Amino acid sequence: MLAGEVWFDAKQKAWVFHHGRELVFDLDTGAPVSSVPFEEKLEPGYNEDPKLMLLIDQRPEDLSFFELRRVIDYYQADDNTKGIAYAVRYFGLLADTLGPLIVIGIAVPFAMSGVRVNPAVGVSKSIGLFLLYYALSNIAASLAVKQLLSPEMAAWLPNLGMAGLAVWLFTRMR
C-alpha cells in the first residue's frame, strides 16, 4: 500500500491512509496483479507503534537513554544489525559515567609534574589525549558496526584505554 499521508488514529486504534493506492502482487511471480486507488483507507490490522517508528528515524545521538533502550529491544527481537549503532550509543552513555574519574586520574600526574613546565606543553598534551580518545571512540564504533566488536566492548574500549593510561601515569609519578 502506498499513500500520500499516513497517521495513527488513537481512538479507532488503526492507521489511516490518505490519497493512496493499494497494490496486489502475484505471490509466485511477484508481478503486479492490480493497483486500486483510494481516497482514505482505515487499516486496524497493522500493529506498528507510531512512537517507536518516530524513534527509528532519528540518529542515536539524538535519542535519550530510555529511547535508545526501546530501539535496541525492537531491533534485537528481529536480530537486526541496524540496532548496533544504537547499542553502541546506549552503552557509551553508561561508560561515560567513568569519564570524570579518568579525567582526574590523568590530571593529577600532570599537575604534579611541576610548575616549571611551559603551559603550552600541558595544552598540547591535553589536545593529544583528546585526539587519542576521539580516535579510539571512532575506531571502536566502526568495529562494532562491522560486527568485529560487541557494542558493549566498543563503548567501553575508549574509557578503558584512557583509564589504563591514567594508571600508567600514576605509576610513573614520583
Tens of pLDDT along 84-141?
A: 889 999 999 998 888 888 888 888 777 776 667 777 777 788 888 889 989 998 999 8
Q: Alpha-carbon distance 16 to 40, whole Å? A: 7
Q: What is the mean pLDDT of the chain?
A: 87
CB-based contact 153:161 (threshold 8 Å): no
Question: In the block, which residue shows the cell 609534574?
Answer: 113
**Residue 44 pLDDT > 70, yes or no?**
yes
Residue 28 DSSP one-character state? T
- Work out the percent of the chain whose per-residue pLDDT is above 90: 36
- Candidates 159, 141, 161; CA nearest to 151 is 141
pTM above 0.85, yes or no: no
N-to-C CA span, the chain: 72
Cell of 159: 574509557
Question: In the block, which residue shows the cell 491512509?
Answer: 17
Please give the pLDDT value at position 115.
64
Cell of 130: 583528546
Q: Alpha-carbon distance 99 to 35, whole Å? A: 57
Q: Alpha-carbon distance 87 to 152, whole Å? A: 8
Please give the pLDDT value at position 113.
66
